[in-house]
Amino acid sequence: MRRHETRRGRADAADSVPENAPRRRPPRARAGGLAAALAIVAVAVVAGSTLSSEPVSRLPGLYSGKAAVSPAPVEVWAVGDGADGSEAGKRVAAMIAAARPARMLYLGDVYERGTRGEFARNYASVYGALARRTLPTPGNHDWPRHAEGYDPYWERVTGRSMPSSYVTRIAGWDLLSLNSETVGPTSPQVRRLERTVASGGTCRLAFWHRPRFSAGSHGDQPTVAPFWRALRGRAALVVNGHEHNMQELRVRDGIRELISGAGGRSHYRLDRSDPRLGWSNVTRDGALRLRLRPGRADYAFVAVGGRVLRRGTATCRPAQPDA
């Protein structure tokens, strides 16, 4: 929504406050960018089960199959809201490509309507060289026309139909891609999620487009509350886009929520006084870097140019083996 967007603003950070303090409605703001050689890297992925009817590990071209978990960290980047064909978006994508990540999580939104032509012009021109190592999730701009744009694009990349929700395993972590556009308290997606996390432990990173909690222009998204409820005590990290900024939310229900929507489209302002914020930035384009290893995830918000704006660590508890 362009009336909420701005290309320049101030960096925002919250003072230390109680997690359960009330929040205020955020102010709104106005609108605000790969041409890079991409080396092919080996990808160590432990294939997992899926939230759809097919195992994700059987999708050709997207997963490399089973491999032993390496003690070395596996690098994964996450960003959304940058596939508009702009130079700003291409700079973010070039930074990610230069890091040669094992995986990239694209957190949704191909502008303006997620059509077949826009996937060709605005997504492929920005992130196309990373497509075969991308784990996607649809955004609100993509899903109304997913049968025209999102579905056929990822079918061409993977060689088969792409499930809208799925899970794979990387470096001791389950990465769960969920569809925030089709969620409901009793939806099949939520029931599958509940079964998937029933084994216990918290070494899970779930990602979808609309954030459950946010100090940004869009605010909290109650429609995805069923995801959050299913993940309480079962996940350590949730990563989202939708807000065109970067946010680190304080731990809630044992979950750290990170918002990485500064992909180059524009910048949204947010409420600096929101007590749930641990850190935020509304002035820089950039992405979230995650270095995963068993029991630990080191994350950093990185601006275009390579400057690390914020670092953090999340730890997790593996599921106990069956007796």
- DSSP states of 188-256: HHHHHHHHHGGG----EEEE-SS-SS-SBTT---GGGHHHHHHHTTT-SEEEE-SSSSEEEEPPBTTBE
Collect all residues with Cβ–Cβ distance below 8 Å to 54 and sequence separation of at least 6.
Answer: 161, 163
87-111 pLDDT per residue, tens: 999 999 999 999 999 999 999 989 9
pLDDT at 224: 97
pLDDT at residue 70 in the model:
56
- Contact in structure between 263 and 287 (CB atoms under 8 Å): yes
- Which segment of 42-56, 118-132, 191-205 scores lowest on mean pLDDT? 42-56
User: 175-198, pLDDT tens digit by residue?
Assistant: 999 999 999 888 899 999 999 999
Q: Summarize pLDDT for 6-16 with one digit per residue, the tens.
A: 433 333 333 33
Query: 205 with 297: CB under 8 angstroms?
Result: yes
Query: Is the pLDDT reported for residue 173 higher than 50?
Result: yes
pTM as predicted: 0.80
Domain ranges of the chain: 41-315
On the question of pLDDT at 32 being above 60, the answer is no
pLDDT at residue 132 above 50? yes
Q: Say if residue 23 is exposed, middle or buried (CB neighbours under 10 Å; 0-12, 13-18, 19+).
A: middle
Decide which of 3.40.50.620, 3.60.21.10, 3.40.50.2300, 3.40.50.300 is the CATH code for 41-315. 3.60.21.10
Q: What is the CA radius of gyration of the chain?
A: 18
Higher-confidence residue: 268 or 100? 100
In this predicted model, what pLDDT tens digit does every residue of 249-259 receive, in sequence order? 999 999 999 99
**pLDDT value of position 56:** 37
Give the torsion sign (CA, 161, 162, 167, 169).
positive
Residue type at 93 in one-letter notation: A
Mean pLDDT score of the chain: 81
CB-based contact 176:51 (threshold 8 Å) = yes
CA distance 274 to 277: 6
Q: What letters, b where the CB count within 10 A reaches 16 and e where it falls short, cover 54-85?
A: ebbbebeebbeeeeebeeebbbbbbbbbbbbb
113-117, 162-166, 226-230: least confidently modelled range: 162-166
